[in-house]
Structure 1
Amino acid sequence: MATIYDVAKAAGVSPKTVSRVMNGDAPVNVRTRELVEATMDSLGYVPSSAARAMRSQRTRLVGLVTGAISGSQAAGGATGLPDLQIVQGIQRTLAESGMTLLVSDTSEPGGVPQLVRTLREHRVEGLFYVASHHQRIELPDGARAARMVLVNGFDDAGTPCVLPDDTEGQWALTAALIARGHRRIGFLTLPAALVAQGLRLEGYARALAEAGIAYDPALVVETSHSGAAQEREVLQAAIEGMLALEEPPTVLCCGNDRLAVAVYGILRAREVKVPEGMSVAGYDDYRVISETLYPQLTTMELPYGRMGEAAARLMLGELRGKKPAAIGARVLVEGELRWRDSVTPGPAAVA
């Protein structure tokens, strides 16, 4: 294996000059730099990042712990694979700054401390923890680092975090439906146990209030996570109940795109066409669903990629010596409304 001394001898320069070319810490004329770089390539010389880290006290490594890869959701559930967009956003932004991301995956919270210890042994300069969905996190003992950013989750300790702006997302979607003439807006919500449910209900109610539309509890039904069969029964009963109202809804908002798939099927079984007989909107913009349903689904994006980028920028700010993020700091990232063919203008639309 070639050494720095082999490179220096072959290039006819001093080892100090080779070091300067590798580290960029002192001026070297262009011709000499090109000669040294060409010699390193010809000899197959690879600089030791470990040795440079010992000298500079910087490894340029950042760790990340997630369950998005090997968790049960990654096998095709409602979450999992889309969450990888968070990891991609982090990696893309760090790479632009010359940082390397070390990803460790676990499907069990109990394994997090060991993964964190391993990452710290590799002298990572910071650590991300990426949750599978918007939730409160209770990290086990030993699962923290001096520089840490939570993504898609928050904790009671006030660790800096990056979250989707669920309230503004549902407000924007509901306001857009109102602007297109819909006044009776059914809302098939996520289960109450999920943090996003309360936030989105807040956005939904605010959009109605701002438009002078009364909140009707008959148009809001919580869905269930207790099993696919039971969930379908709940959805079917909810839709039948809404359609039987004296003033039925003209559009159904679904807590996520997966629910929209079931809603399409239930409406089709009742010979209600989408969007002619009932408009349907989702949430997530899980494009495997939203772009393959017919008609394609209008939905609010969960901005996973931009959340990852925001988390990386937050981490880079600390690594570059800027003022550390304050305890309790939360960065909210807004999604974009994806308007497709599943929503038609409502009765109150202006001609």
Structure 2
Amino acid sequence: MVRMRDIADHLGISVSTVSLAMNRKDQGRVNAPLAERIRATAQEMGYTPNLHALGLKLNKSHAIALICRTSPDDPFLSAMTGGAQAAATDAGYILITIPVSSAPGAEAEAIETALQRDVDGIVFAADFYRRRSIPGVPDSTPFVFLDCVSTGANPVVTEVIADEVQGSFEATAHLLAAGHTRIGYIGVDDDRYLARHLRERGFRAALREHLGSGAAPLIVNAADPSISAGEQAAHQLFERAGSEPPTALFCFSDRTAFGVAQAARARGLRLPEDLSIVGFDNVEYTSEFFSPRLTTVELPHQRMSAEAVRQLVHRIEHPRSDPLRITVPCPLIHRDSVRPAVPSSERLER
């Protein structure tokens, strides 16, 4: 194991100078070029700090907990834990992941487990974007919300969420840029999902910006985000559209898009020749196996969880900092389910 003494001997300087540089206490005490050289040399030599010793000195464990309300088959779990783990490692912390179920008392038990391990802070992650109450943690334990918000207009705790309005806007704008003007939206009729309103808001905003305020949106809400509910909602939308069927559909989720595709094919529509489709979530088992490969908006769980950990570390090191609500952009993933719109005259000829 490389010690500070080894770095000092290698550079021909004192151990105290190395310590100042490695603990970021060099300003005004060690000249900047030397401090950077010390840190670069430490990295080259494979130096790692003794977190246990440092924790005893600072009364910190250098461990943080990720308490996530999820299940082992959650398609977002891997990205969420991976992003959090990478950010914790970069910040010099150990990450303890504690999955919890929706059973009564499960979160309280998870909090107790985290506190028994003397964690310096906790990230609370929801199973989907929702409002939630403030958890029962001691005032001395910093915490951050991931993919959830507290009640009220202003954040009382730092929250890291996806910019779902922006993602939906870009998805709809992509269809408009491909020449589609008759665009429908299959949403979801369940107020548990805050995303319901945000994704529809982005859809409507893109139509207004590109087609004007007089554009009449074609919207049908599915009972839930399942494939079967999406299929049923799509049939309703096609029937409502009548003689002016949409040439493109934006869907609340990738699973919804799967149902929409089934409804479209049942009506003899080819994808994407007759109907372009865009989903939301970028869930691998749906978006990758969709035929044609599904253009979709990604829920950036890896970047969100990494940002949540960075914000938690900031709150640990700056306990009096104000709470923030941070939105992470949702990128549009271009694949094969969108094609330029076919003029109505050509569609009629077919």
Bin for the TM-score computed over the shorter chain: 0.7 to 0.9
Shift of 1:275: 0.7
Q: Shift in Å at residue 292 of structure 1?
A: 1.6
Report the equivalent of 2:165: 167
1:58 to 60, 64, 84: 60
Residue 226 to residue 277, structure 1, CA distance change in 2 (3 Å)? closer
Q: Pick from 246, 261, 271: which aligns with 1:264?
A: 261
- Matched residues in 2 for 1:285 and 1:226: separation? 14
SS of the residue aligned with 2:309? helix
Cα offsets for 1:3-60 (capped at 9, x unmatched): xxxxxxxxxxxxxxx9xx66x49975249x9xxxxxxxxxxxxx99656533331211
Match of residue 14 from structure 1: none
Unaligned runs of 5+ in 1: 1-17, 34-46
1:95 maps onto 2:94 in alignment: no
Question: What's the secondary structure of 1:114's corresponding residue?
Answer: helix
Aligned 8 A contact 1:205 1:215 in 2: no
In the alignment, is residue 29 of structure 1 matched against residue 4 of structure 2? Answer: no
Stretches of structure 2 that go unaligned for 5 or more consecutive residues are 16-48, 345-350
Q: CA deviation at 1:288?
A: 2.0
Q: Indicate the SS of the match to 1:271.
A: coil
From 113, 125, 131, the counterpart of 1:130: 125
> Which letter maps to 1:257?
D
Kept after mapping to 1: 8 A contact 2:230/2:255: no
SS in 2 for 1:29: helix
1:122 Cα shift? 1.5
Q: Secondary structure at the match of 2:105?
A: helix
Amino acid at match of 2:67: V
Match status 1:116 vs 2:111? yes
Counterparts of 2:301 and 2:267 in 1: how far apart (Å)?
35
Match of 2:39 in 1: none
TM-score normalised according to structure 2 size: 0.78
* Distance (whole Å) between structure 2 residues aligned to residue 124 and residue 143 of structure 1: 12
Alignment partner of 1:290 is 2:287: yes
Pair 1:144–1:86, CA change in 2 (3 A): farther
- Counterpart-to-counterpart distance in 2, 1:189 and 1:342: 19
1:144 deviation in Å?
7.3
1:104 counterpart residue number: 98
Q: Are 2:313 and 1:316 aligned?
A: yes
Instruction: Quote the Cα distance in structure 1 between the aligned partners of 2:306 and 2:261.
Output: 34
Q: Percent of counterpart pairs with the same letter?
A: 26
Residue 67 in 1 paired to residue 61 in 2? no
The corresponding residue for 2:216 is 216
Separation in structure 2 between the aligned mates of residue 227 and residue 184 of structure 1, nearest angstrom: 24
Q: Which secondary structure state, in structure 2, belongs to the residue aligned with residue 341 of structure 1?
A: coil
Task: Determine which of 244, 247, 250 is the counterpart of 2:244.
Answer: 247
Aligned length: 303
CA contact (8 A) 1:113 1:143 kept: no
Deviation at 1:251, TM superposition (A): 0.2
Q: Which of 300, 304, 312 lines up with 2:301 in the alignment?
A: 304
SS of 1:62 mapped into structure 2: strand
Asked if 1:199 corresponds to 2:209, the answer is: no
Instruction: Let me know the Cα RMSD of the aligned residues.
Output: 3.0
Cα 1:200–1:215 change in 2 (3 A) is: farther
Q: Name the structure 2 match of 1:344.
A: 339
Contact 1:253–1:281 (Cα < 8 Å) also in 2: yes
Contact 2:160 2:328 in 1 (8 A): yes
Task: Give the 3 Å change call, closer, same or farther, for CA 190–84 of structure 1 in structure 2.
Answer: farther
Would you say the 8 A contact 2:232–2:263 is kept in 1? no
Q: Is the CA contact 1:127–1:145 (under 8 Å) kept in the aligned structure 2?
A: no
SS at match of 1:102: strand
Aligned mates of 1:205, 1:132 — CA distance in 2: 26
SS in 2 for 1:135: strand
3-state SS of 2:112 partner: helix
Instruction: Say whether 1:181 aligns with 2:179.
Output: yes
Task: Report SS of the residue matched to 2:76.
Answer: coil
After superposition, give the CA deviation of every residue in 1:202-248 in whole Å (9 maximum; x if it has no partner).
Answer: 1111111111343425x101111297655543333233333x2x322
In the TM superposition, what is the alpha-carbon distance from 1:184 to its structure 2 partner?
0.9
